[in-house]
A and B are shown apart, each in its own frame.
Chain A
């Protein structure tokens, strides 16, 4: 079941998905997305995940 509904405006416009209830990031989240020290830890975590996938699922 889709969480995001399509919305066709009266008058036959384009049926645009209603994103008004999609969560927006807070100011803190936006700041953390650009924080070099925090992002470096996420970089290491992402690479760790890729390597685990290589070990778990490749052969």
Chain B
């Protein structure tokens, strides 16, 4: 009998758990440890943040799904990993602390034969003074944050309806943020809501980003083939912003937020302040704090985790200049070096470097979008590691690892606004691969599959993905037929 423990129940962890349960016999156990009681389809938080959906539409309780699928469930947070066990048992172990109200604070040590770290991000609002729901800006990173963002947005719309001009700022709250696509989608939705409310003319909408160029999205931008000509995501995004009357401030590092005032520095080293009545700023991500100990109790956290808190895997972490970055630097198996039963997937793995070119302001401040790890790649990583573990349990520990590199797999990003089937609009992008491979493709990506389009169809795609992925996550009949 083998015991598999999965830390985290986001897209990658939950996907891994469902596939493992499907591929393993009942004599083996699969246990998920997550501090959250609910599963959240995070891409649709954007719609919650503008009131187009309610929180109940984007979350559901995990316990009934895991009970039905016979997956063990601990509502708890992991605090430490013992990959080589301890003085009592050489099997690996993980320390957990319960977060559910009835057992809050209770600790337990779980033994494992195989461990997947899919803990997702720690939202580092503290990186910028005054940022976040505890400060002066909103967030859409969780469903609760999005509900609060919508409340604040409604207050601003009410003031606009009274005839008071308002400034709305959407963007990135630090020079090293990731998830620019989410901010792009949210600003697109905010603009739509203001138009629907008939108050757009009184509102100033500003997109404040760490991207050095519009359309960078933390992936170094894209080149599209459009009617036989190459065009860029920069020009395409610029067109959308011009059409919508959204102002853009690029290459910005937000250093501090006060009540109604954002302080930021741009790449030329100049510092500025931007007044606001409503601001939604994405925080930088870090790894969820986890310690690691050797069998004799020695602290090996620095060996297992990168300084960012993300877990090191089979990537090439050699420091080298942007010009020497290669697609082959990116991990393929997601196994932790030195361990054949420990993996990190989704946002929990440490990327070898950024995808976009990192920059510094003339004052030396780092402005470097971090690599996005969106739902599609995260789900694929979770399934890939699940397949590796299932093979090793079912066919022996020598079974070859399955692979899935972000330099080979694609991703879709759909920024959709509106509701219903005939009144929405969307910017829909696909890219293949996520990490550009300039040795393989002249533009870094497959031009046939890398595209950006605007139109109602993108809204249908986003709605379809919303319902399909929630259906899949609930493990309803035929869920495994829906691709990651």
Contact with B along A23-45 (1 / 0, CB 8 A): 11100000011101011101100
Bound together, the chains give a CA A52 to CA B450 distance in angstroms of 12
Residues of A contacting B268 in the complex (Cβ-Cβ under 8 angstroms): 6, 8, 15
Q: Is B433 in contact with A6, judged by CB distance below 8 angstroms?
A: no
Q: Is B272 in contact with A14, judged by CB distance below 8 angstroms?
A: yes
What residue in chain A is nearest B208 (Cβ atoms)? A14
Instruction: Determine which residue in A23, A42, A46 has the highest number of CB atoms from chain B within 10 A of its CB, and name it.
Output: A46
Instruction: Determine which residue in B238, B274, B433, B460 has the highest number of CB atoms from chain A within 10 A of its CB, and name it.
Output: B238
Query: A58-B404, A58-B484 known; A15 and B266 CB under 8 Å?
Result: yes
B24 at the interface (CB under 8 A from A): no
Bound together, the chains give a CA A33 to CA B453 distance in angstroms of 9
Query: A2-B212, A6-B266 known; A54 and B483 CB under 8 Å?
Result: yes
Query: A49-B451, A59-B384 known; A6 and B251 CB under 8 Å?
Result: yes
Task: Bin the interface of chain B by size.
Answer: 35 or more
B311 at the interface (CB under 8 A from A): no
Bound together, the chains give a CA A24 to CA B272 distance in angstroms of 30
Bound together, the chains give a CA A15 to CA B265 distance in angstroms of 10
The one of B249, B380, B425, B449 that contacts A15, using a Cβ cutoff of 8 Å = B249
Bound together, the chains give a CA A14 to CA B451 distance in angstroms of 32
Bound together, the chains give a CA A36 to CA B185 distance in angstroms of 23
The one of B206, B232, B270 that contacts A3, using a Cβ cutoff of 8 Å = B232
Q: Is A8 in contact with B449, judged by CB distance below 8 angstroms?
A: no
Residues of B contacting A10 in the complex (Cβ-Cβ under 8 angstroms): none
B422 at the interface (CB under 8 A from A): yes
Query: What 10 pairs between A and B have smallest CB-CB spacing?
Result: A53-B410, A22-B238, A43-B457, A33-B455, A57-B409, A42-B457, A19-B242, A17-B248, A39-B457, A39-B456
Instruction: List 26 contacting pairs A-B, 8 Å CB cutoff, sorted by A.
Output: A2-B213, A3-B235, A4-B214, A4-B234, A6-B266, A6-B268, A14-B206, A14-B272, A14-B274, A16-B247, A16-B248, A19-B241, A20-B242, A24-B243, A33-B454, A40-B457, A42-B457, A46-B412, A46-B428, A49-B430, A49-B449, A56-B432, A57-B433, A58-B483, A58-B484, A59-B404
Chain A contacts to B: CB under 8 angstroms: 2-4, 6, 8, 12, 14-17, 19-20, 22-25, 32-34, 36, 38-40, 42-43, 46-47, 49-54, 56-59
Chain B contacts to A: CB under 8 angstroms: 206, 212-214, 232, 234-235, 238-239, 241-243, 247-251, 266, 268, 270, 272, 274, 380, 384, 402-404, 408-412, 422, 425, 428, 430, 432-433, 449, 451, 453-458, 460-461, 483-484
